[in-house]
Amino acid sequence: MSEVQSVGVIGLGSMGMGAAKSCVRAGLDVYGFDLNPEALEELGSYGAKAVSTNAVEYAKELDAVLVLVVNARQVNTVLFETGLAAALKPNTPVMVSATISAEDAKQIENKLAEHRLVMLDAPVSGGSAKAESGEMTVMASGATSTFEALQPVLDATAAKVYNIGEAIGLGATVKVIHQLLAGVHIAAGAEAMALAARAGIPLDLMYDVVTNAAGNSWMFENRMKHVVDGDYTPNSMVDIFVKDLNLVSDTAQDLKFPTPLSSAALNMFVSASNAGFGQEDDSAVIKIFDGIELPGVEK
């Protein structure tokens, strides 16, 4: 197989847009696909070869595909319901970077194989800033030949690529377990800050103590700042962790394994979503606690 020179990026949200721009800067021929016309215009003016709401019309131009949509349902829609998989050249490598379950990853691999396409199970992390700078973390599994085929795309978009093994599903599982920690840490931060508020501890001082001590986490430092500032403008929403901790729950159920902490954290995020905070920043999970006053939040 010849070297990948063109790549179709499907899903131009905060991660996909950054990855697509990083591919443009690396000299790849980038085709961007999304339903949002503003995103298409942004990538078009950044130097994409073409942008469109319809990937199928460019299928024969693509040496590789990077899918950066939100969930497994969207992956299935953009690859199969649109007819894209049927239209791609045989052996085109498809890098699936949505956060999905191992079971979903395996089903998608099987459906791609029916079209003689190969898959890299390649969830990403790092946030939009790292995507923008081409420094995502990729936790991937798949055949060595698929890693090799996608090397130009990985070089363009990732600072660190973990090769977890050959079996599709391993990449998805590592990402899901990572999200277990991320979600529990946000919920634990909220529980601690809510208890501090109830005890009359100034939240800015509590934040300062924790971030300078062994109780700190990446998520506490990043998200509880939003609580201190009373700013729940969403970077990542409560409903994203409803989804991701449900993936943890699905994974645990498949393995018949107990997850007491992430189960409790899931219940907290679902309670927050049910109370009307699903579209707010995920730190808004703290709003499930009654009887406290929070900066910038009217009761």
Q: Note the residues at the interface with a second copy (CB under 8 A).
A: 102, 125-127, 137, 139, 160, 162, 164, 170, 173-174, 177-182, 184-185, 187-189, 191-192, 194-196, 198-202, 205-206, 208-210, 212-220, 222, 248, 251-252, 255, 257-265, 267-268, 289, 291
In this structure, how many other beta carbons lie within 10 angstroms of the beta carbon of residue 222? 17
In this structure, how many other beta carbons lie within 10 angstroms of the beta carbon of residue 81? 10
| Residues designated catalytic | 175
Residue 264 CB, nearest approach to a second copy (Å): 5
Residue 54 CB, nearest approach to a second copy (Å): 34
Residue 156's identity, in one-letter code, is A
3-state SS class at 6: strand
Q: Is beta strand 29-33 parallel, antiparallel or unpaired with respect to 50-52?
A: parallel
Q: How far apart are CA 281 and CA 232, in angstroms?
A: 5
How far is the CA of 39 from the CAs of 46, 53, 183, 240, 267, in angstroms? 11, 10, 28, 21, 34
138-103-70 Cα angle (round to 5): 50
What b/e readout covers 113-151, taking b as 16+ CB neighbours within 10 angstroms?
eebebbbbbbbbbbbbebbbebebbbbbbbeeebbebbe
Of 85 and 265, which CB lies nearer to a second copy in the complex structure?
Answer: 265
Of 106 and 115, which CB lies nearer to a second copy in the complex structure?
Answer: 106
Residue 252 CB, nearest approach to a second copy (Å): 7
**Which residues fall within 8 angstroms of residue 4, CB to CB, at 6 or more apart?**
28, 63, 64, 93, 149, 150, 151, 152, 153
Of 64 and 176, which CB lies nearer to a second copy in the complex structure?
Answer: 176
Residue 193 CB, nearest approach to a second copy (Å): 8
